[in-house]
């Protein structure tokens, strides 16, 4: 089960986490989790370049290590990067010291001030430490592109029905998401541009 929009109780439970940016500006923030990988990330970068948009990639350290040229392309094209742990760990299921060490290992590659916990699952004890170093970013709109039981069109509708000023939108650059992100991302960008939205990196 997952929520397309961040529910009140999640915001209450994680009061210091960033779920969205300013509602005063007609601006949205595209984010991509889990890459970089050769099967998906170049397509996303090509799409962003075509539309002259900057975005934020929450990268898994192991994928950076395996695909350094794609990671360098993300940086070279002016996108922001965030830390998504080295091994895509679920914080709720991981001892604090192991989790924080894994993040530190990824940080050696990313050197970023942004962190997003995989699965949006992190213990308060972990976040207490992370808030000292990072802006911890969740999401405002979850596309659901990772869900193999929804159609590409449903993925697109998830975004356009819930987007607001300042929304932080989550897509994924992983293989499971490819059928949906390849369909939905270009359509989302076109729709939001037609509605007058600007795009920014976090």
pLDDT at residue 107 is higher than 90: yes
pLDDT number for residue 27: 98
- Return phi, psi of residue 132, to 5°: -70, -25
Does the domain at residues 8-199 carry the CATH identifier 3.40.50.1820?
no
**Length of the chain in residues, anyone?**
202
Contacts of 94 (CB under 8 A, 6+ apart): 102
| Catalytic residue numbers, as ranges | 33, 172
pLDDT number for residue 157: 98
The answer to whether the peptide bond before residue 36 is cis (omega within 30 degrees of 0) is yes
User: How confident is the model over 47-89, as pLDDT tens digits?
Assistant: 999 999 999 999 999 999 999 999 999 999 999 999 999 999 9
Looking at residues 29-46, what average pLDDT do you find? Answer: 98
User: How confident is the model over 164-180, as pLDDT tens digits?
Assistant: 999 999 999 999 999 99
């Amino acid at each position: 089960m997952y929520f397309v929009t961040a529910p009140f109780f999640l915001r209450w439970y994680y009061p210091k986490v960033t779920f969205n940016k300013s509602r005063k500006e007609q601006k949205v923030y595209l984010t991509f989790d889990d890459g970089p990988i050769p099967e998906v990330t170049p397509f996303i970068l090509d799409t962003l370049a075509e539309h002259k948009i900057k975005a934020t990639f929450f990268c898994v350290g192991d994928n950076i290590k395996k695909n350094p040229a794609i990671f360098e392309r993300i940086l070279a094209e002016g996108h922001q990067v965030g830390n998504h742990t080295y091994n895509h760990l679920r914080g709720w299921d991981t001892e604090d010291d192991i989790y924080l060490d894994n993040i530190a290992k990824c940080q050696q590659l990313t050197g970023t001030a942004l962190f997003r916990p995989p699965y949006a699952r992190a213990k308060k004890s972990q976040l207490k430490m992370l808030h000292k170093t990072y802006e911890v970013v969740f999401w405002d709109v979850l596309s659901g592109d990772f869900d193999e039981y929804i159609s590409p069109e449903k993925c697109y509708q998830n975004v356009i029905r819930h987007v607001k000023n300042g929304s932080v939108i989550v897509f994924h650059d992983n293989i499971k998401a490819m059928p949906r992100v390849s369909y939905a991302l270009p359509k989302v960008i076109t729709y939001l541009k037609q509605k007058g939205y600007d795009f920014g990196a976090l």
